[in-house]
Structure formats: C-alpha cells, structure tokens
Amino acid sequence: MKHPMYEHPSAAERRDLRAGQRAQSRMLSTGPWCWPREHDDAEAFSSAREAVGSGPRGLEPGEVALVTVDMSRDGSRGELWAMQISPSTMQSSNGEFVGVGRESWLDAQCALPRALPLLWGSVRARHDQLGPVLKMYSERSDAVAPLETRACGLALGLALASSVIGVVAPADVIAAATLDERGSLGRVGALGDRLRVIDELALSVRRVVVASDQRDEALACLEQLGIERLEIVSFSTLSAALDGLLEDTSRVIDSATPAQREELVDSFLRLALGEQHASLEWGSVERAAGRALSSWGAQLSAERRRALEFTRAVAARHHYKSGSLEIPSQDWLQWFPLPLRLRVLAHATQQASDTGSPDPAALLDLTRRACPELSVLVDASPPGDPSSAEIDTRAIDACCGPHMRLLGAIGRMQYSALGDLRAAIHTQITVCVGWQRCWEYDETPYPLSALFAYVSALALDPGPDARHAEALFERVDALWTESQRGGRRCREDLYVRLARGRALATLLRFDEAVLELDPLITDLGHQGEQLRLSAARWRMKCAHSTSGNAAHDAIVHSEDPRATLYRALLDLDVALSSGDSGAAAQAAARVHGEQHALCDTLLSGAGLSLGDADAPAFLARRYPY
C-alpha cells in the first residue's frame, strides 16, 4: 500500500501547494516575525530557511509588525501586517491606512514630540512616509485592504520613533493599543482574536504590548486560550513604552547639529511651558534636558542655556516635586514675548510653591515689577471671613488669560510656600471669577479644585477660621455650578471631583463624599493611580470606611511608587485620630522622607519645622495632593 505522502498529487493539490508555498515565502521574507525560533524548533527553522533561500531578514529603523481583526461580517478574521516608515522604498503596498487609521497616524506625529524631546521638524518630515504596508497573512481573501482602525496607534508611534531616532524596534514585539495625540495609550477591541493570530502566525514574537488598563484582560485571554509562550507588557503612555522598548533614545540629542540644538531647546521649552498632561513622562524630559546640558549646553547662547536649565527644573518638579530653580532675571524675561514671559513667571511661581525655590517673596516682587497690572489683585486684602470675599472685577478686566494663569500660580504659592490660607482663597476665587467673566469655563477646574482643597484645610484648622468652612464650601460649589454652563468638562473633571470629595469628608458630609470618591477608587485605570490613592485616603475618613474596603486595599496593595507616600499619609491620619503623638511623628517623618522639598516648603511657610509638635497635624491637613 502506498503512503499518501508519496502519491502523485492532483492538479488542484499542486495548485494549492504552490499557493501555500508562495504565502509562506511572503510571510517569511517580509521580516523576522513569522519565523520559527531556531532553538525552539530547529527542523521548522531549517524548512523555513530552505523555503526562502536565506535566514530571517534583519529589520531597519521604522519597521514594525501589527495585527488587525476584521469584524465586518459574522465572526472575526485576523490579519498580520508588516509596516515601514521610510523616506524611499521600492516595494508597493497592499494595504492603506484610511479614516480613523489615518487619524491615528496623525495623532502619532503629535504625540511623539511630547513623549520624547525630539525635533518637531524631523517628525513632520515623515508625514508622507507611511509605507509600504504589506499584508503577511489574512484569514479573509481580499487582495487589498484598508486599515481603518485605531488599534494600531501604538505600533505607528513605535515605528515613527524608530525611524526618527534611527534605532531598530525589537523584532519580538507586537503592539496592540490605541494612541491619542497627547501620548496616552488605550484599549483595543477583539483582544483575544489578536492574541490568537499572534500566537499562531508570529512565531518569533514573544511580547505583546497593551495599554495598562487592559493588562488584566490580556492575561485572562491568554489563560482562556491556553497560550503560554506570549508575555504581556503594558504601559500607560507612549513615552513609557518607548523607554521600555527602544534602546539609545538619546541618540537624537548627542548627534544634533548646532542648528538642531537650538530647535531642540525650543522643543524642550514648549514642553516646559505647556500644560502638564498626565501622559507626559516628565522623568524622561528631565533626563533628556540634563543630557543636552552636559553634552553641548556650554556651546549654547546664555538665553538658550538658561531655557534648558529652566526646562530641567520644571520637569523635575512635575516628575516628583523636586528640582531647584533660580529666580528669572529681568534680562532673560525680556527675551520672551509678553505671553511667554507670563508663562515663565507662572512656572517659576509653581516651582516655588512645591520646592521653595526660587524664593517666594522675591518672586512676588519680580512679578509686581514685570506685571504691574496684576499688583492690585496680588496685594488685595482678604476679608476675615474667606467666604465673603468681594472681587474687584475692574482689575480683573484689565487682565488676559496668561495673567489669570500666573495669578492662579500665585494663589498656590500663597497656600504652600507663604502659609497664607486666607490670601490663597481670595486669589483663587478671583481667578475663577476672572475665567468665568471671559466665558472660559474650561479653565476653571484648577482654581475650583484648589478652592475645594482649601475648604478641607480650613475645616481642619484648629483656629477660629474653621467655622467659615461650610460657608466657603457653598460659595465654591456655586462657582462650580456656574462653570458647568460651559459643558461637561468642568462637571466631570476628576481633580475637581477629588477635591470636592475631600472637602465633603472633612465637613463630615460622608454620604455626599462617598458619591464623589468611590468612583475615583474603583473606576480609574492605572493612568489615574495618584488620583485613586488620594481619593482612597480621604475616603478612609468617612464613617462608612472599614479596614477591608476598596479604599484601604487601593492604598495598601498598590504597586505604584507613590503608594509609599500615601501609606505614610494614611498612617499619619490614623495616628492623629487615635491621639498617638509618637506614631504621628514617625508617620510625618516618612511623609517628609518621600517628599521632603514640598513638606519643607509647607512647614516653612507656617513657621514650623518637622520636629515641632504641631508639624504632623499641619502636614496631614495641608498636604495638597
């Protein structure tokens, strides 16, 4: 009897065999992703080498693999793609990014300079270099397919960074996460189908990158599918993903030409003077600015070297409330147009708020000289009852948006570095009214969240001012209601919700506080971990809390580096409530150890030092975050 293997194949079988060989050759010759690993299966690797005529092709900068899932009909059909961002190519694409897929490509171009301090021009130069996009395998028969999906956002960002920096992306990685223009990573649909396709076809891929808030789902999918060879790697931002996946991302800094150095400094400064997006990895910005200073900072003009030092200090403050900053000189301020000059002063003021450097009193004097139109508002005398402050709207109307941001920073400095709670309340009410008079309701969440936090500090104050806390809360709540006329952003702002819940908890309005705080503890992804930790701390003050609730677990079991600080704050609260002064002093020392610059600034503003008997209670009620 003949063995079927040796029987002469029919014409149809020969045709299928040739088609299969062509498909195998296409998958293997495109890149290394579909090759079997030689040390795992030497026989399969040898067969693949024989089919292609050589070993796996090495990748070039800008090349990645990605997986898509077609859900347009019954069931799901996976597709595996190879993509390259290249200035020139001889290959033609059989795929094209369209619709939201094209939008993801544009978002990646916006996100990359925020994720890494790159040359904006270098990123823009890749605008029309998306291609070729080659289909390695498809479970459907279409020859040419549009890629209309956001699920490839991180893959696009990784490929773009690889191309701009000139660093090859790892061949054992496939990314499955969305990417928005600010650099935040998000969830993708049909994750199980994507993992199945990767496991079956991308034999050299070992790591699948997902958004942090989809990690648990990805691990559950692997277990359900019985896949053991794949590892799940998760990040919340593009910056963190690039730090974890690419090597030598500082190459763009070291190799910059003199003209590029000036552009890099401007790029750094745009980051420092912009808004503090949660998706920005400020630790990376701090390290990159420091590298530029050490590499070629001495060759810059005095103004640009000062700008680079300013960026490093601002990034350090955003990263972990540290960093030293000299007071800006009048000459350097004149280097900027007025709107940027006000921004520089605002950031210097915020720096003083968190670290005590530069000197707060000297910075106020500089602000009065540089912005005389603000002097009336800065020097306004707050009333004895903070809730009854009258606002000088004529002085407000002489100011514009950058003035309001600077005034908000001054209010923050009055609270922390100068220890003047009444002045801080008056200033932030002025800022909130100022934004509302211009109908800029989306700008009010910061002063509102600050004011709700000040309500909490006032309610816990041991002096007679605590009796005004309830009335102040009602006034701030009315301002919040007014701001909601501008739409959902203010109503749903998480920081306003957190600060409002904190105020309600200290006013002993526990039922209302729980409604604000519980969603922040249970519904936030990993990206909002500091919000969750702070909300959990104040939720524990409510009468409904028990040692085994979600708030307690959020603090005790969190793996975030900041959890150590909030565990110390929680222990400080418990020690104070039980009257254990020794335990309170120990917990306060731990809080100070985690954030010594901010704690020293808070204590110094109140005329206290860490060893004083009143210091633990003061830190517990005044810690702003």
Phi then psi for 5, rounded to 5 degrees?
A: -60, -30
Sheet-wide strand order for 63-70: 63-70, 77-85, 130-138
Beta-bridge mates of residue 67:
80
Retrieve residue 361's tokens. 């009193």
Domain with CATH 3.30.230.10 in the chain: 58-245
Strand partners, 233: 209
Q: What is the reported pLDDT for 73?
A: 63
Q: What is the pLDDT of residue 320?
A: 64
pLDDT of amino acid 301: 92
The long-range contacts involving 362-370, CB below 8 angstroms and separated by at least 24 positions, are 362/327, 363/327, 363/413, 364/410, 364/413, 366/327, 366/328, 366/330, 367/406, 367/410, 369/330, 370/330, 370/333, 370/341, 370/345
> Quick one: which H or E segment has residue 450?
helix 445-459
Instruction: Going from the first residue of the chain to its last (625 residues), give the mean pLDDT of each consecutive group of 10, the final group possibly shorter.
Output: 38 42 71 84 82 83 88 72 71 76 85 68 61 68 71 92 86 94 89 92 93 94 94 92 81 79 84 62 78 90 91 79 77 88 90 86 90 87 85 88 94 94 95 94 95 96 92 96 86 92 96 93 70 93 66 87 93 95 96 92 94 96 92
- Whole-number pLDDT of residue 576: 96
Tell me how far the alpha carbon of residue 296 is from its chain's centroid.
28
Q: Residue 84, SS3?
A: strand
Q: What is the DSSP string of 135-192?
A: EEEESS--SSEEE--STTHHHHHHHHHHHHHT-PPPTTEEE--EE-TTSBEE--S-HH
Closest CA to 214 of 533, 557, 525: 525
Secondary structure of 560-586 in the HEC alphabet?
CCCHHHHHHHHHHHHHHHHCCHHHHHH
Residue 437 is predicted with a pLDDT of 93
Question: In the prediction, which pLDDT does 13 show?
Answer: 39
User: What is the DSSP code string of 93-141?
Assistant: -SEEE-THHHHHHHHHHHHHHHHS---HHHHHTTTT-EEEEEEEEESS-
Q: Tell me, what's the pLDDT at 123?
A: 61
pTM, two decimals, is: 0.65
Angle between helices 615-622 and 596-605 (to 10 degrees): 110
Identity of the residue numbered 513:
A
Strand 95-97 and strand 145-147: pairing? Answer: parallel
Q: SS3 of 399, please? A: coil
Is the separation of the CB atoms in 287 and 268 below 8 Å?
Answer: no
Assigned CATH class of 58-245: alpha beta
Residue type for 146, please?
P
Burial level of 103, CB count in 10 A (0-12/13-18/19+)?
A: middle
